[in-house]
Amino acid sequence: MIPVQGYAGQTVAVLGLGRSGRASALALREGGATPVVWDDGQAARDSAHDAGFDVVDLTKLGAFAGVAALIVSPGIPHLYPAPHPVIAAAWDAGVPVDNDISLFFRSFATDDWDGFNTRPQVIAVTGSNGKSTTSALIHHILIENGKPAQLAGNIGVGVLDIEPAHDGEVVVLELSSYQTDLARALTPDVAVWTNLTPDHLDRHAGLGGYFAAKRRLFAEGGPDRAVIGVDEPEGLYLANQLSEGRADDRVLRVSSGQKLDGEGWNIFARKGFLSEVRKGRQVASIDLREIRGLPGAHNHQNACSAYAACRTLGLSPKGIERAMQSYPGLPHRSQHVAERDGVSFVNDSKATNVDSAAKALQAFSNIRWICGGLQKEGGLDGLLPYLGHVARAYVIGREADSFARQLSGADALVCGTMEAAVAAAVKDAQSGDVVLLAPAAASFDQYDNFELRGEDFMACVRAAI
C-alpha cells in the first residue's frame, strides 16, 4: 500500500466505497489522516462500518465542517451529466475535490528514494482503445527484460494498493478519462496516448470534453517523454502542442498503417512490420505477424505504443522483440480461447463499442461473428465497411432483433443467448474460420460486466467442442 502523504492529522472524506474508494480510505488512514466515508449503497456503508471506518452521511447540511478534502471514486460523475450532490456540497463548502490517482502521484515519492541508485519511474497510458493491452504489454516487456515493475490503475490493482517503490522500479498505470479528468496531481515520467474514438460522451458532455479529460495527462502532467498515436486529428494536435519542433524527440509519434517521416522519433506498423525511425534513419524492425498475443492492426498499434514507451527507458529493440514473442495477451481482448478442426475461437468481449469491434473484425478473415448487447449511442453504421470478413453474424442480447436489422447486407441470425449463438456458430464453422466474440455493445442487458460475458463465451465454447 502507498500511504497518503500531506493529510496527517486531518479529516478527509471519501465518496464511493468500491475498489478505489476503499483503497483510498485505507491509504489515508495509513498516512495518518482520519477518513470519513460515504456510499449511496447501504451494503457498502455497512461493509465499511464493519471494517472500522467512520461512516458519515455527507449529504447532510454541515457534513463538510472540518474536512480537508473530498476523494471521489472514478465512477461518480462530478460535472456531467450532473454533479453528484455530495460533490456539489463540497464545492459549496470550499472543500477541494480530488481522486485516488492524484493521491498516488502526491504520495509515491518518499525520502527512501534518496538511497536508491536508480529513481523509480511512472508510465501512464490513456486513450479510447488499447489502453489495457498497451499497459499490460509494457509491464510484460519490462519484467521479461529484468526490470522490476508493477501494473495498476484501471487494470490490475488500484493505484494505492501497490507496494512502495523499489530501487529502479517502473510503475505502469492504465488511466481512464474518469481518472484523469478530476486528478489535481498528474506527474508521469512517460505518458502514452493510444487513440481517440467517441466514448463516455454523456459523462464528458461530448467528444470535446472527452478529449480534454484525457489531454490533461499531457498538458498538466508535463511528462518527460510523450508517446502519441497520431492516426486521429486529436493525436496530431496533441503531438504538435507538446513538440517544440520537428526534431524534438521528447515526443514519439506512433501510427498503425501509415509511414511516419521526419526528423523526430517515429514508430509505426505497416503490413505487419513495426519500424522505428529516428532522425530520418531506421533503427529497428520487428515482424509482428506471428505474435499470437497481438493479432490485427489495432494490436500492432498497441505494440508500437508499448515499444516506444520501453525505448524511452533505454530497453533494446531485440530485448523488446523477445518479450513480445512471449506476450500471452489479455483475457477478453483478442484472447485465443481454443482451436478445433481448423476453427479458432477468439474472445474479444472487451470490444464494447463500435470502433473496438471494427478493429477486431479487421484482424481476422472468415469470421463467424457473435455480437450484440446493450447498444451505445451512434448506431452501428461504423461497422458496415468491415462486414466483408463476416460469413455470418450471430446476434445476442435483449435488443438482438434491432441490432441484427442494422447490420445491412450481412447474414445475421438472431440467437438471443450466448449458448445459442456459440452452438450455431460451431455448427456452421468450417476449417479456416474464426468464431469471434466482439459484441460492439455493453454487456449490462445480460451480464454484470464484460468479463462475465467473456467467461460465458469461453464456457459455451468448451461445452460445444
Return the CATH number at 64.
Answer: 3.40.50.720
**CA-wise closest residue to 287 among 301, 302, 270:** 270
CA distance 37 to 311: 42
Q: Where are the beta strands (DSSP E) in 145-193?
A: 149-153, 170-174, 190-193
Residue 35 lies in a domain: yes
Domain count, the chain: 3
Percent of the chain with pLDDT strictly greater than 70: 100
Dihedral of the alpha carbons of 159, 162, 163, 165, in degrees to the nearest 10: -50
Residue 460: pLDDT band by 50, 70, 90 thresholds?
Answer: very high
Q: Round the average pLDDT of the chain to a whole number and report it.
A: 95
Average pLDDT over residues 50-70: 96
Instruction: Find out whether 352 is annotated in a ligand binding site.
Output: no
What whole-number distance in Å separates Cα of residue 235 and Cα of residue 268? 14
Which of 386, 394, 387, 389 shows the shortest CA–CA distance to 427? 394
Look at residues 410, 364, 415 and name the one whose alpha carbon lies nearest to residue 387.
410
Q: What is the pLDDT of residue 334?
A: 87
Whether a cis peptide bond, with omega within 30° of 0, leads into 81 is: yes
User: What mean pLDDT do residues 190-216 have?
Assistant: 93
pLDDT-derived band at 394, boundaries 50, 70, 90 = very high
> According to the model, what pLDDT value does residue 204 have?
94
**How does residue 358 score in pLDDT terms, banded at 50, 70 and 90?**
very high
In a domain? residue 289: yes
Strand runs labelled E in 97-216: 97-98, 121-126, 149-153, 170-174, 190-193
CB-based burial label for 284 (10 Å; 0-12, 13-18, 19+)? middle
Amino acid 297: pLDDT? 85
Q: Are 15 and 87 spatial neighbours (Cβ–Cβ below 8 Å)?
A: yes
The reply to whether 1 falls in a domain is no
Same-domain pairing of 343 and 369: yes
- On whether residue 106 sits in a domain, the answer given is no
What value does the mean pLDDT take over residues 380-407?
95
In 3-state terms the chain splits into helix, strand, coil percentages (rounded to 5) of 35, 25, 40
Residue 129 annotated as part of some ligand binding site: yes
Are 133 and 230 part of one and the same domain? yes
pLDDT of residue 261: 86
* 118 assigned ligand-binding residue: no
Alpha-carbon distance 161 to 71, whole Å? 16
Q: Round to the nearest angstrom and report the end-to-end CA distance of the chain.
A: 44
Cα 399 from Cα 416, distance rounded (Å): 8
Cα gap 105→90, rounded to integer Å? 22
- Looking at the fold, whether 320 and 223 belong to one and the same domain comes out as yes
Q: Give yes or no: residues 166 and 307 share one domain.
A: yes
pLDDT tops 90 at residue 260: yes
Mean pLDDT of 2-31: 96
- Whether residue 104 is contained in a domain is answered as no
Query: From CA 93, how far away is CA 87, in angstroms rounded?
Result: 10
pLDDT at 8 over 90: yes
> Angle CA(196)–CA(197)–CA(199) in degrees, nearest 5?
115
Percent of the chain predicted with pLDDT > 90:
88
Q: 105 in a domain, yes or no?
A: no
Sheet containing 11-15, strands listed edge to edge, beginning at the edge strand earlier in sequence:
54-55, 34-38, 11-15, 67-72, 97-98
Is residue 299 part of an annotated ligand binding site?
Answer: no
69: left (phi over 0), alpha (psi -120 to 50) or beta: beta
Quote the CA–CA distance of 123 and 190 in Å, as a whole number: 5
- Which stretch of 71-80, 277-286, 326-335 has the lowest confidence by average pLDDT? 326-335
Same domain assignment for residues 369 and 308: no
On whether both 304 and 203 belong to a single domain, the answer is yes
Is residue 443 one of the residues assigned to a domain? yes
Q: Are residues 88 and 117 in the same domain?
A: no
Q: Is the pLDDT of residue 199 over 90?
A: no
- Chain-centre distance of CA 105, in angstroms? 18
How many residues comprise the chain? 465
* pLDDT over 90 (residue 72): yes
CA distance 405 to 87: 42
Question: Is residue 358 within 8 Å of residue 296, measured between CB atoms?
Answer: no
Residue 342 shares a structural domain with residue 316: no
**pLDDT of res. 129:** 86
pLDDT at 409: 86
pLDDT at 274: 97
Do residues 256 and 245 touch, judged by C-beta distance below 8 A?
no
Same domain, 220 and 121: yes
List, in sequence order, the alpha helices (H) in 260-369: 296-312, 317-325, 354-363
Which H or E run contains 15?
Answer: strand 11-15
Residue 3 lies in a domain: no
Of the spans 290-299, 348-357, 395-404, which averages the highest pLDDT? 395-404
How large is the average pLDDT for residues 439-457?
A: 96
Of 98, 131, 147, which marks where a domain is finished?
98
Task: Tell me, yes or no, whether 57 and 131 share the same domain.
Answer: no
pLDDT tier at 84, thresholds 50, 70, 90:
very high
pLDDT of 197 strictly over 90: no
Check whether 298 has a pLDDT greater than 90.
no
CB within 8 Å of 58: residues ≥ 6 apart: 13, 15, 36, 38, 64, 70, 86, 89
> Quick check: helix, strand or coil at residue 449?
coil
Q: Which range of residues forms the domain containing residue 455?
A: 335-464
Q: What is the mean pLDDT of residues 328-354?
A: 91
Confidence of residue 311 (pLDDT cuts 50, 70, 90): very high
- Considering the domain architecture, whether residues 154 and 73 belong to the same structural domain is answered as no
- Which grid cell is 110? 518518499
Given 66, 98, 130, the domain boundary residue is: 98
Residue 312 counted as an annotated binding residue: no
Structure pTM? 0.85
Is residue 292 pLDDT above 90, yes or no?
A: no
Average pLDDT of the residues in 417-425: 98
What's 315's domain CATH number?
Answer: 3.40.1190.10
Split at pLDDT 50, 70, 90, the class of 200 is confident
Q: Cα(369)–Cα(113) distance, rounded to whole angstroms?
A: 51
Higher pLDDT, 129 or 114: 114
> Cα(243)–Cα(239) distance, rounded to whole angstroms?
6
Cα–Cα distance for residue pair 45/37, rounded to 1 Å: 8
* 418 and 394 within one domain: yes
**Boundary-marking domain end, from 268, 294, 325:** 325
**321: helix, strand or coil:** helix
CATH of the domain at 358: 3.90.190.20
